[in-house]
Amino acid sequence: MKKTIPVSLILALIMGMLASMAPVHAHPIHANSVYTNPVTAGGLWENQAALPLTPDEQRRLLYDILYHLHQQEEMSVDIILSPEIIIPFDEWLPLENLEERFQALEGKEIRVMQQPVMITKKPEKLTVIVNREHPLPEDYVPDNLVTPNVSVMYSGEASLLRKEAADALEEMVAAALEATGEQLVLRSGYRSYATQRYLFNTRARERGEAVANRSTARPGESEHQTGLAADITSPSVRRQLTTRFGETPEGKWLQENAHHYGFVLRYPAGKEEITGYIYEPWHFRYVGHGLATRLYESGLTMEEELAEFPFDS
């Protein structure tokens, strides 16, 4: 059913948001509300047929959608205009580059996802899920970080993992070398909140926020902050993080054997709409033998397997 609201209420909401809105982020892929243009706002869009809309009209349309959702419950909202255009909730207010960022709405489905953002309360648990809806506390730092006895690409925090993950990685790397003859390399382990913020901002500045949202976690939303995630590569792909790694003998060996050591391929191909991230054959997450084996045998992601108790908060 089509809803209408007074434009004055939209403007009042916008002014309130400008004064007090705190940035939050919703997962940009799973959508539980669908709007097709034109959406009505107090009749403003009811007779709107001249598309594409101007940037100002697009902005007002998006605020209309935002208003409807906030009338239902205090939630974080992201908008998808296309697979390449994701507009995070806290990026709507700035008006720069509207033409480029919003583009035309003609013929496009506007998908809206609403979901509460809840800070993870037990970030130290091996099975904790970290993502856009359940970020880690800004000040969380694991208290048992060590450098595993494996080949590392960088010194400093990138060479660190939690002790249990580091021990398991040493065993896995040794087994991979024996099985494939290739020496696996830890390219990135632990990553602080501040480092992740720098990486995301750099990616967004260089490639745009839409690209950054699909390929780079925002600060607090990266598994690397847990000290349980390892980006693994090898000399055969010049120690790069590339999908070609998944096609190498050592990359294939990892996908078939990592669970024996308590690791899982965290962002597998074909699961992008569930995990929210592109396929990353280099990103392995330590979860312990039990869960790793269940995930390998079922082919499920952590989000699917732990759906009933997803964030253990």
Q: What per-residue confidence (pLDDT) applies to 120?
A: 77
Q: What per-residue confidence (pLDDT) applies to 23?
A: 34
Residue 163 and residue 295: Cα distance in Å, rounded?
22
Containing 312, the helix (H) or strand (E) segment is none
Q: Are 79 and 86 in contact (CB under 8 A)?
A: yes
Residue 49 to residues 6, 19, 39, 40: CA-CA distances in angstroms?
A: 20, 34, 11, 12
Residue 102 and residue 109: Cα distance in Å, rounded?
13
Q: What per-residue confidence (pLDDT) applies to 209?
A: 81
Q: What per-residue confidence (pLDDT) applies to 37?
A: 35
Residue 133 has, within 13 A of its CA and on its CB side, a CA count of 20
Residue 49 and residue 64: Cα distance in Å, rounded?
17
Backbone angles phi, psi at 85, to 5 degrees: -120, 105
Q: What per-residue confidence (pLDDT) applies to 51?
A: 41
Q: Are 230 and 186 in contact (CB under 8 A)?
A: yes
Q: What is the pLDDT of residues 51-110, one digit of tens each?
A: 444 555 555 555 555 555 444 444 444 444 444 444 444 443 334 444 444 444 334 444
Q: What per-residue confidence (pLDDT) applies to 220?
A: 92
Structural tokens at position 44: 């403003």
> CB under 8 Å to 131, separation ≥6 — which residues?
27, 221, 275, 276, 303
Task: Kindly list the strands in the beta sheet with 283-286, ordered across the sheet, starting from the edge strand earlier in the chain.
Answer: 151-152, 185-188, 229-233, 283-286, 263-265
Q: Which residues of the chain have pLDDT under 50?
A: 1-53, 69-116, 310-313
Q: What per-residue confidence (pLDDT) applies to 122?
A: 87
Question: Could you give the domains of the chain?
Answer: 7-115 (no CATH), 145-305 (3.30.1380.10)
Full-model pTM = 0.64
Q: What per-residue confidence (pLDDT) applies to 88?
A: 46
Q: What per-residue confidence (pLDDT) applies to 62?
A: 57
Q: What per-residue confidence (pLDDT) applies to 30?
A: 26
**Helix/strand/coil percent split, the chain, to 5:** 40, 15, 45
Q: Are 190 and 157 in contact (CB under 8 A)?
A: yes
